[in-house]
Structure formats: C-alpha cells, structure tokens
Amino acid sequence: MNESMIMKQLNEASFAMDDVLLYLDTHPNDRDALNYYHQAAAMRREAMDAYEALCGPLMVDAVKSLDEWTWLTDRWPWEGEA
C-alpha cells in the first residue's frame, strides 16, 4: 500500500469519526452509533500507524524517537513524493 492510499483511508476514517461524533452529541445512548464510532476510531488508528511507519509522524504528538526530533527531519505530508 502506498502513501496516497493510506492517506485516503485516514481521511475517510477521520470523516466518519467526525460525522458520528456530531450524531452522538445529540444521541448519546445510541449503541449502534457508539459501536460505529469505535470501529471508525480503530480504522483511523490503523491508518495513522501505517502512515507513520511508512512516512514518519503525521502529528507532532506521534514523534516516538528518543534520539532525535523527527518532526523536523522527515518530509511534511503535503510535500508529496520528495
């Protein structure tokens, strides 16, 4: 799987989470919606992990290196194929 495919999955999962969060704000007892939220959150976590394994941290709080600050050394997500 390449970077653009992973980013597409990440965007789709993020959109699904945002959408269901809005619904849950007004329907907090809807179990199906809550299950859907957890599914979307898991898909988003998997896509984030896959992207970070391939390209480095996508968010500043995802820097895992103890040896160097990789947030500044890796290319930015919007830089494309560099």
Is-contact 10 43, C-beta < 8 A?
Answer: no
21 occurs within a structural domain: yes
Residue 20 within a domain: yes
Q: Using the structure block, give the residue that is written with the tokens 């980013």.
A: 7
Residues spanned by the domain of 45? 3-74
Q: Looking at beta carbons, which pairs linking 64-70 to residues 24 or more positions away fall under 8 Å?
A: none
**How far is Cα 51 from Cα 22, in angstroms, rounded to an integer?**
26
Residue 82 falls inside a structural domain: no
Q: List pLDDT tens digits, range 25-64.
A: 999 999 999 999 999 999 999 999 998 888 877 777 776 7
Q: What proportion of the chain, given as a percentage, has pLDDT over 70?
A: 77
In a domain, 80, yes or no: no
Total domain count for the chain?
1
For residue 32, being part of any structural domain is answered with yes
44's CB contacts (< 8 A; 6+ apart) are: 10, 13, 14, 17
